[in-house]
């Protein structure tokens, strides 16, 4: 596709449930990033994938958060046992190696 | 750790110039970026500057970098109502690295 695509655009879930968020990067982009944006705040880095290298997970806030990426394509961010403080917009970005990051529109997660 | 700071809010009249300021702490920052976020949308890259540059101009946008003071600014000339959005400053050590973002500056343009 032309840009980074994320789905769903909105997700409402109940506290304690698991959620999966999907990111389709720009075709050919080897790097993929997940960020979290809490209401009224800037973006916090979560995790970074680059090719077949081990991902940089240094930004994941707890072991309830995990992410996978298949090759250089789709990535899923999974949040287990969601808590209200997980409510945020989750943004995905992709880039060529050592190039500018391009962002998707994000998934707005609301945990009730 | 790294920190990026921005003022929360800026209000200008249509046709005036807007100046959005940003300070950062990481002296290893190599790339500095300005992103625009409109309501309900993702981040749109506006412009970026390498740390070995002092200024970059792109149409109505002018970026100034004072590396000594770790201060970055974005000037929007002839601001329009369509420029109303949240503007984020971000930095990275390399273009392929994670970005560290400021909290964003909400720009309101009054007609």
Residues 6 or more apart from A101 whose CB is under 8 A from it?
Answer: A31, A33, A93, A94, A95, B45, B99
What does the alpha-carbon distance between residue A17 and residue A36 come to, in Å, rounded to a whole number? 19
Q: Where does the pLDDT of residue A98 fall: very low under 50, low under 70, confident under 90, or very high at 90 and above?
A: low
Residue range B53-62, pLDDT digits in tens: 999 999 999 9
Residue A1 has pLDDT above 60, yes or no: no
pLDDT of residue A41: 82
Q: Which residues of B touch A4 (CB under 8 A)?
A: 42
Residue A112 has pLDDT above 60, yes or no: yes
What does the alpha-carbon distance between residue B4 and residue B101 come to, in Å, rounded to a whole number? 6
Q: Which residues of A touch B41 (CB under 8 A)?
A: 105
pLDDT of residue A57: 92
Q: Which residues of B touch A43 (CB under 8 A)?
A: 43, 88, 90, 99, 101
Low-confidence ranges of chain B (pLDDT < 50): none
pLDDT of residue A65: 97
Any A CB within 8 A of B100 CB: yes
- In chain A, the residue whose alpha carbon lies closest to the alpha carbon of B36 is A103
Residue range A24-64, pLDDT digits in tens: 999 999 999 999 999 888 899 999 998 888 899 999 999 99
């Amino acid at each position: 596709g032309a840009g980074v695509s994320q789905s769903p655009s909105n997700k409402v879930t109940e506290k304690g449930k698991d959620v999966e968020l999907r990111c389709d990067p720009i075709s050919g982009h080897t790097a993929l990033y997940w960020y979290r944006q809490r209401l009224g705040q800037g973006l916090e880095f979560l995790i970074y994938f680059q090719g077949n290298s081990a991902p940089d997970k240094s930004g994941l806030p707890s072991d309830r958060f995990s992410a996978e990426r298949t090759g250089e394509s789709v990535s899923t961010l999974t949040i287990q046992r969601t808590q209200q403080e997980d409510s945020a917009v989750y943004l995905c970005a992709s880039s060529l190696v050592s190039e500018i990051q391009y962002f998707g529109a994000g998934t707005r997660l609301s945990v009730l | 750790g790294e920190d990026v700071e921005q003022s929360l809010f800026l209000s200008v009249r249509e046709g005036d110039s807007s100046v959005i300021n940003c300070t950062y702490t990481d002296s290893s920052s190599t790339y500095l970026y300005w992103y625009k976020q409109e309501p309900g949308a993702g981040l749109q890259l506006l412009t970026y500057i390498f740390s070995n540059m002092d200024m970059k101009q792109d149409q109505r946008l002018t970026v100034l970098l004072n590396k000594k003071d770790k201060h970055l600014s974005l000037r929007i000339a002839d601001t329009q109502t369509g420029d109303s959005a949240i503007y984020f400053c971000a930095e990275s050590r390399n273009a392929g690295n994670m970005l560290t973002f400021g909290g964003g500056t909400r720009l309101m343009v009054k007609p």
